[in-house]
Structure 1
Amino acid sequence: MARWENERRTSEQVREIKRQAVLKEASRAFGRKGYHNTSLDDVARSLNISKGTLYNYVRDKQEILFECHKEALDIGDAAMEYASRAETGAEQLRLAIRFYLERIVENLGACAALLEVDALRPDDRDAAVERRRGFEQSISAMVERGIADGSLKSGLDPMLVVRTVMGAINWIPRWYDPDRHQSPTELSVEMSGMLLDGLTAA
């Protein structure tokens, strides 16, 4: 359970710490039970606070869902930055997917949120879809670069690669159990190999 006691900080800092605790606990609950099966009552109970207190930090479940989306998209941006150091398109793609996979598995709530884009408010949905489109275009560009430099097979459809990879990743919350399966690092290595070995040129 997240620590809830006040420390020697300003009231605004204390409020932000508590808000982050709410978001983190809600994200975990989304990962365990799914967005639609998780209530704010569940989140409040896990933090040992009242539902009324919870509303001091978040407006509703949709706000939490949008924050989870933003976290997943931030991970995507970090994956692109991390992979940019590689020389070939294939290696960029491998590094990006491995980085993204590992951190998404560490935060299943952020991953689970990606399947619930239609539950967002219209403005939030538009913002999330636009950012996700940019992430997918970056992956597609890596595929195109790999085809051009010969590190990936010729004739690949970049957007089909994107949809295949992201479909596999987005489904992880439906089956992944940290008590039964590999660690996030081990899973990221194994899955990235399965997804990419069939794409690389001989």
Structure 2
Amino acid sequence: MDSAALLDLLGNENRRRILRLLARKPCYVTEISEYLGVSPKAVIDHLRKLEEAGLVESTVDDGRRKYFSIARNLRLEVNVSPYDFGTKSAYSASSNLDITSWRYVSLKTDRPEDLSEADIADKDLTELAADLECLERLENELSMAQRWVQGRLTETLDQISAHFEGLDGRFYADLLRGLATGPATPTELSRRVEAPPDVVADALEGLAAHGVVEQDGDRWQLA
């Protein structure tokens, strides 16, 4: 899909809220309608546009009810500067991509530490052109690296979810993801994962029984 059209599509707040909800779990139209506080008819119209854009997909359950989920990983980049405005959308890069061989991804700028600001300001056009080339390549490699990370992140969360067969695997994956940023109380985690504190507390006890998390006072952390 054209990135400009994608930007227009995501300009609607309710469509962004739908995607945020579906990133938590697949949902039926009635669930989305209650979450947004809008009519099912309006939700269906939003879902149709998102489905046409390839952002969501629908599946029919055993009871012949249709539910919706995120279709795929997609990254949208927007660049605004005095010299450029543009958008770029792309799917996640393959996990087999070898980013260790990239020249610029280590963020080495080849800038001597002993150069003064005056020396930098006195660079001639040839040196500035060379800097520009290096930075353009760095920008491209960083964009690809972000796509690679996004793909690996989703794969890892999927693998975590798969360990909780018969349970809400996405919820447990989100819980561990919340703890990956640092220790937290059940109340703090409940805000991160948008779940009731008592549900979070029960899930933490279950994870602790498997040696995945541990409690330190009133806070929990990855073991």
So what's the TM-score if we normalise by structure 2?
0.31
Select the structure of larger CA radius of gyration.
Answer: 2
Structure whose residues are more often helix by fraction: 1
Structure number with the bigger relative contact order (C-alpha 8 A, sep ≥ 6) is: 1
So what's the TM-score if we normalise by structure 1?
0.33
Structure whose residues are more often strand by fraction: 2
